[in-house]
């Protein structure tokens, strides 16, 4: 646990959902973390210098637990309307579908979880939250279901809110909205550090990559009274993601839970996550330009550039001929020593395969027959067979993964989806 710097302590099994997660399997085990275990977790955190964030339900933090925290600076996340009085260490979570039933809150931070049916009200809700809070985040639990209409509506609402914000100089000087200002004050990426510098502890003492992984019912990665075991931990890092390495959307938190749900890989973002980040980047660039014209801009800040495309996979879809030559060359180059095949190389292969699937999908949506290059060979199926036969169980260098481990997560979904789409077309 040497690299861990912070932990989420999920106090109850029905603790508030605060990121992109949705109500899925839920957290198993004891309803509330026993006080004795809570004391041990806090003691471990003090010993190792971890920052703590308590995630609570509507009942907030019971008095006996609050006394254990003492005067320590502990962040607390609660749902709106909870019994815990908001203060400068409290983050209040709002759900867009229940927003109108809530009165004015006081606090430091707010998270607005937006659902598709409420996208046309984001500007109004954000105006209220920016009036009440100094720090406001937007989250999208159902972003994977978004289409062009949802993304266009989100962009329009962001622009409408930006126009309102520019007319409120006092609020502009005070509020911070990472979705719209994440790239203004630095060149470092946002991110919660899940799996790299942060983990979650649930009431049973089991540890997970993040609270969303616990809600989704993932396998635990250890226990607070034992040890932490995260396989292939390097794959949680941004530099291992080919799509993310050169991305200019600094406000994107690159949620590993969304990645896992969308592509079955922690390190590979789904296309919708990229589109959403670029819609926000476009709004950021417009806001920076208008703030500069209005005399509100701080010269020490960095002005982001508008993205030329919103979906990185568009560059693959636009390619007239997408074959498997590049993929085969990557694999064949390691015939002499397969242990030299790195995770970065596999990510490159994954993205080429993803591009192949997206191109077939685009053909199906357009109602056209795919290019003959897609019909002549079933590249994904052939690759799957080749990998299993050639490198079955072979350890890949110091990364500790077998090729079969990697191949399984890539091909089961990709192979099935590709064949389904080609059949539909």
Residue 404: pLDDT above 70? no
Q: Which of 250, 272, 306 is the last residue of a domain?
A: 306
Q: What is the DSSP string of 337-361?
A: -GGG--HHHHHHHHHHHHHHHHHHH
252 in helix, strand or coil?
Answer: coil
Number of domains in the chain: 2
What tens digit of pLDDT does each residue of 285-330 get? 999 999 999 899 888 888 888 887 666 655 544 444 444 445 545 5
For the CA atoms of 142, 232, 343, 358, the dihedral, rounded to the nearest 10 degrees, stands at -20
Q: What is the mean pLDDT of residues 388-405?
A: 55
Domain final residue pick, 265, 280, 306? 306
> Any idea which of 137-151, 209-223, 408-422 has the lowest mean pLDDT?
408-422
Higher pLDDT among residues 181 and 365, named by residue: 181
Q: Kindly state whether residues 103 and 251 are assigned to the same domain.
A: yes
State the pLDDT at residue 196.
84
Q: Using 50, 70 and 90 to split pLDDT, how confident is the model at 424?
A: very low
**Cβ proximity of 250 and 189 under 8 Å:** yes
pLDDT in the model for residue 335? 47
Residues 301 and 327 in one domain: no
Size (the chain), residues = 425
* pLDDT band of 167, cuts 50, 70, 90: very high
Spell out a b/e string for 124-139, using b for 16 or more CB atoms within 10 Å of the CB, else e.
bbbebbbeebebbbbb
Distances (CA, A) of 349 to 290, 325, 326, 343: 41, 11, 8, 10
Domain end residue (candidates: 281, 306, 331)? 306
Q: Buried b / exposed e across 154-188, counting CB within 10 Å, b at 16+? A: bbbbbebbbeebbeeeeebeebbbbbbbbbbeeee
Mean pLDDT comparison of 25-39, 274-288, 304-318, highest-scoring range? 274-288
Largest CA distance in the chain: 69
Per-residue pLDDT tens digits for 97-135: 888 655 555 568 999 999 999 999 999 999 999 998 999
Instruction: Provide the edge-to-edge strand list for the sheet that holds 75-79.
Output: 135-139, 109-113, 90-95, 75-79, 51-55, 6-10, 198-201, 207-208
Same-domain pairing of 274 and 405 = no
**Residue partners of 420: CB distance under 8 A and separation at least 6:** none
Checking if the pLDDT of 58 tops 70, the result is yes
Are residues 272 and 353 both part of a single domain?
Answer: no
In this structure, are 289 and 323 located in the same domain?
no
Mean of the per-residue pLDDT values of the chain: 77
Q: Which residues, 6+ apart, have CB-to-CB distance to 106 below 8 Å?
A: 86, 132
User: How high is the pLDDT of residue 195?
Assistant: 83
Please, is 245 exposed, middle or buried when counting C-beta atoms within 10 Å of its C-beta (0-12, 13-18, 19+)? exposed
Please check the confidence at residue 343 and state whether its pLDDT lies above 50. Answer: yes
pLDDT band at 377 (very low <50, low <70, confident <90, very high): very low
Count the neighbouring beta carbons within 10 Å of the beta carbon of residue 244.
24
For residues 125 and 111, what is the distance between their CA atoms, to the nearest angstrom?
11
- 301 and 322 in one domain? no
Q: How many CB atoms lie within 10 A of CB 248?
A: 16
For 18, which DSSP code?
-
326: helix, strand or coil: helix
Q: Which are the contacts of 261, defined by CB distance < 8 A and separation ≥ 6?
A: 144, 216, 270
Q: What is the pLDDT of residues 60-92, one digit of tens each?
A: 888 898 888 876 668 899 998 887 665 678 899
Cα within 13 Å of Cα(121), Cβ side: 16
Among candidate residues 363, 365, 345, 359, the one with its CA nearest the CA of residue 410: 345
Question: Based on the domain organization, do 350 and 301 belong to the same domain?
Answer: no
Q: Are residues 230 and 326 in the same domain?
A: no
Q: What is the pLDDT of residues 247-264, one digit of tens each?
A: 788 888 888 888 888 887
Over residues 166-187, the mean pLDDT reads 86
Q: Note whether 264 and 336 are same-domain residues.
A: no
Cβ–Cβ contacts within 10 Å for residue 301, how many? 15
Residues 109 and 190 in one domain: yes
Residue 344 has pLDDT above 60, yes or no: no
The more confident residue out of 56 and 357 is 56
More confident residue, 180 or 330: 180
Smallest Cα–Cα separation from 170: which of 137, 138, 131? Answer: 131
Question: Do 228 and 368 belong together in one domain?
Answer: no
- Rounded to an integer, the average pLDDT of 30-49 is 89
Separation of alpha carbons 48 and 42, rounded Å: 10
The lowest-confidence range among 169-178, 270-279, 353-362, 377-386 is: 377-386
CB 350 within 8 A of CB 265: yes
Is residue 269 located within the same domain as residue 324? no
Q: Where is pLDDT greater, at 141 or 83? A: 141
Mean pLDDT of 218-233: 82
Query: What range defines the domain where residue 412 resides?
Result: 314-424
User: What is the structure's pLDDT at 81?
Assistant: 82
CATH value at residue 12: 3.20.20
Q: Which two tokens stand for residue 274?
A: 């990229």
Is the predicted pLDDT of residue 140 greater than 80, yes or no? yes
């Amino acid at each position: 646990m040497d690299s861990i710097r912070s932990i989420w302590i999920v106090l109850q099994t029905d603790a508030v959902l605060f990121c992109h997660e949705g109500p899925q399997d839920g957290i198993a085990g004891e309803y509330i973390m026993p006080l004795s275990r809570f004391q041990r977790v806090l003691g471990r955190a003090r010993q190792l210098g971890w920052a703590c964030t308590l995630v609570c339900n509507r009942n907030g933090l019971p008095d006996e637990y609050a006394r254990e925290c003492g005067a320590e600076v502990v962040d607390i996340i609660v749902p709106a309307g909870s019994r815990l009085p908001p203060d400068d260490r409290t983050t209040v979570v709002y759900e867009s579908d229940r927003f109108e039933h809530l009165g004015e809150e006081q606090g430091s931070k707010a998270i607005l979880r937006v659902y598709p049916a409420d996208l046309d009200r984001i500007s109004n809700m954000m105006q209220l939250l920016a009036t009440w809070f100094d720090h406001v985040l937007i989250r999208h639990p159902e972003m994977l279901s978004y289409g062009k209409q949802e993304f266009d509506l989100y962009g329009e609402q962001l622009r409408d809110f930006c126009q309102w914000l520019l007319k409120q100089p006092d609020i502009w000087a005070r509020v911070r909205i990472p979705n719209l200002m994440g790239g203004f004050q630095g060149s470092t990426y946002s991110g919660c550090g899940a799996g790299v510098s942060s983990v979650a502890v649930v009431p049973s003492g089991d540890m997970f990559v993040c609270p969303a992984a616990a809600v989704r019912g993932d396998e635990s990665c250890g226990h607070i009274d034992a040890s932490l075991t995260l396989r292939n931990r390097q794959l949680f890092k941004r530099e291992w993601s080919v799509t993310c390495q050169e991305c200019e959307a600094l406000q994107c938190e690159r949620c590993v839970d969304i990645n896992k749900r969308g592509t079955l890989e922690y390190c590979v973002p789904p296309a919708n996550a990229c589109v959403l980040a670029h819609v926000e980047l476009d709004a950021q660039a417009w806001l920076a330009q208008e703030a500069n014209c209005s005399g509100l801009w701080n010269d020490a800040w960095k002005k982001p550039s508008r993205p030329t495309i919103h979906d990185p996979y568009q560059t693959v879809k636009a390619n007239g001929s997408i074959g498997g030559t590049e993929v085969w060359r990557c694999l064949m180059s390691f015939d002499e020593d397969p242990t030299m095949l790195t995770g970065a190389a596999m990510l490159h292969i994954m993205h080429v395969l993803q591009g192949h699937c997206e191109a077939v999908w685009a053909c199906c949506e357009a109602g056209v027959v795919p290019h003959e290059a897609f019909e002549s060979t079933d590249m994904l199926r052939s690759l799957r067979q080749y990998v299993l036969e050639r490198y079955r169980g072979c350890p890949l260098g110091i990364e500790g993964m077998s090729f079969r481990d990697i191949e399984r997560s890539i091909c089961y979904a990709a192979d099935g989806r590709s064949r389904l789409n080609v059949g539909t077309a």
